[in-house]
Chain A
Amino acid sequence: MKNMTSLKSIKLIGFGLLFITFSLSSCQKDVPPAPDTTAGTTTELKVAADFDWKTSREITLNVIGLKEVNPAINNTFYVNSSAGVTYYKDLLTMNQDYTIKFAVPSTETTLVFNYGSKTKTVEITSSSLTYDYITE
């Protein structure tokens, strides 16, 4: 008998909590998400004169050849993301210099250069990078 009473009490408390929850949530108004700037509209934005509005970044890569490599070695040079997305590929001769231009999303922070068995990972610290074939 005592157990039956306890069960009833628990049920009552449970229904009560549910009622309060629904009551509170029905009172709460949906708050639309807001921009994280004080500007209300685009025309109110404060924009620096030199902002380029780009979501990509152009990279100029200077490839320094290993001049002592003779006869010439030809392999495909890959510019990849750390996730394996290829931004650029072309045939390079190992003892020649090249200037290569390509673009990556602005969100990209590192590049992985592959040439044969050689792999180098570099941070994108500027729009002008240098690659040589010297590895540890």
Chain B
Amino acid sequence: MKKIFVITFLTLLSLTGFTQTVTNDFENAGGWKYYSNVCWGIGMNNEYEYFNTNVVGGGFTGSKVCQTQNLGEKNICRLESPWTNLAAGNIEFDHAVPSKNGTRKLTVYLVKEDDSKSKILEFTYTNGNANHASIANNVTGIRKIRWEWTGNDGNSRGQLDNIVIPGTNASDPSHDCEPMAAIIDADGDGVPDTQDEYPNDKYRAYNNYYPATGFGTVAFEDNWPAYGDYDLNDLVMGYKFKIVSNAQHNVVEIFNTMLLRANGAGMENGFGYQLPAVNPGSIRAVTGAGNQSGYTISDNGTETGNPTKATIIVFDKSHQYMNEWNTEKGVPPVPDVQFDIYLEFMKNGVAGAAGTITVSNLNIAQWNPFLVANGQRGREIHLPNYLPTDLADQSLFGTGDDDTQTGKYYKSKTNLPWALDIYGAFDYPAEHMDISQTYLHFGAWVESSGANFKDWYSNTGAGYRDDAKIY
């Protein structure tokens, strides 16, 4: 008995598995526009330019029905299903011409990709009543169902509802509703080769960049908590992130290029950054950093003491990498010093102990760069309103010109910052040249709260900057 039950259950299950259908009851609130985007031929191309089919209130069941425009001698109103991989079974639908005048006829076709068609129903209306059609179908393969109403005069309209077609949807709404094409995907990761930046690597699919092109710039004043001279060149770092992700949206690795461009400071300053959304345990390894004396680094390359947010120390002392300040007029510049930081999040599909993180959740724009002043680990200087790390010396908050308090970080009493993050290249001021007098729209940008001169750091027009004050 038990055996029979199991067999019956499995039989029913398998039958259920084979009864896939393409349906439409026209009840979606988006109306014809929605249905045309999911590949129903409702007023969606030139074939219907004179007599658009539409979705209106009323009809058979539910609150909406597909309705043609007025039928007439020269009018053929149509509706088409999406391309369907037809299976054997009954094609069912409800139809009517509610206000029948003159002669009205509905013809239903199966349409092939070459637009050849075969008739499966011809129905002449004798009254305005609703009708249910159930058409036995043994045709398989890619077809559309096409409904065509014809008439000779009057203003009655055809209606259609509750469509059930045996088979599966084979239209691709992302490609103009053409029949789905076979996807070439050499590594089988689900990303078509034409879109996959690693077509033969199932563990990688995409590169995202921040900034989207070139380098961004972070520029610091290092005299915090006291004001400095606002030349914003005590430490100038160029940055670029290339984020590699897989088909499951997860970060696989980050290639971070950091450029030490200037260190116009007497102090020995370090530099690091925090990834606020990343648990240190999500990172398998960090390589490429400079010297990190005075810092405690975990086996995976992140800094210890910040247990919830991954913290990367890029270098401990800038002057050991760049002898010149690269800020003093008359002193020839020395080349930028490049650090190629590599952060491994996944290896052969295996994430770090704390699990994966998606590219979107990483939100690399929220990276939190900071300067460590004069080799004192706790003396962190961050961008305005960016949080200190767990290792910051909070006894310095609110001292000097700083006004850090809950909800306000690394801003002065008059809301001035000690660092700026610039989305793009930045020709920093020369030594002792105040940024407000170097970039001539900087003040207007600030005093308008960013509304005016959003491109103040560019050199796109005359009057943007005083070149004599730029290093």
Contact = CB atoms under 8 A, between A and B. Distances in A.
Contact of A52 (B176, B385, B440): B385
A118 B174 contact: yes
A37 interface: yes
Nearest to A88: B208
A73 interface: yes
A125 interface: no
A36 B444 contact: yes
Contacts of A106: 423, 450, 454
Interface stretch (B134-142, B287-295, B361-369, B372-380): B361-369
Contacts of A16: none
Interface stretch (A4-12, A17-25, A95-103): A95-103
Contacts of A41: 230, 434, 436-437
Contacts of B174: 73, 75, 94, 115-118, 133
Contacts of A86: 208-209, 212
Contacts of A82: none
B323 interface: no
A52 B212 CA distance: 21
A32 B61 CA distance: 78
Contacts of B420: 53, 55
Q: Determine which residue in B30, B37, B175 has the highest number of CB atoms from chain A within 10 A of its CB, and name it.
A: B37
Nearest to A53: B384
Contacts of B93: none
B interface bracket (residues with beta carbon within 8 Å of A): 35 or more
Contact of B447 (A39, A68, A104): A39
A66 B468 CA distance: 57
Would you call the interface of chain A mostly helix, strand, loop, or mixed? loop
B466 A73 contact: no
A51 B450 contact: yes
Would you call the interface of chain B mostly helix, strand, loop, or mixed? loop
Interface string B149-176: 0000000000000000000110011111
Contacts of B442: 35, 42
B447 A66 contact: no
Interface in A27-82: 32-37, 39-43, 45-56, 58, 66, 68-71, 73-76, 81
Contact of B384 (A52, A73, A74): A52
Contacts of B466: 32-33
Contacts of A69: 38, 169, 173
Q: Determine which residue in A36, A40, A116, A135 has the highest number of CB atoms from chain B within 10 A of its CB, and name it.
A: A36
Contacts of B172: 73, 116
Given A33-B466, A73-B173, A73-B180, 5 more contacts: A36-B444, A37-B444, A55-B457, A56-B365, A117-B176
22 contacts: A33-B440, A35-B437, A35-B441, A35-B443, A37-B443, A39-B436, A40-B436, A41-B436, A42-B443, A43-B416, A46-B447, A48-B449, A56-B211, A66-B173, A71-B168, A73-B172, A73-B180, A91-B191, A91-B205, A91-B249, A105-B424, A136-B33
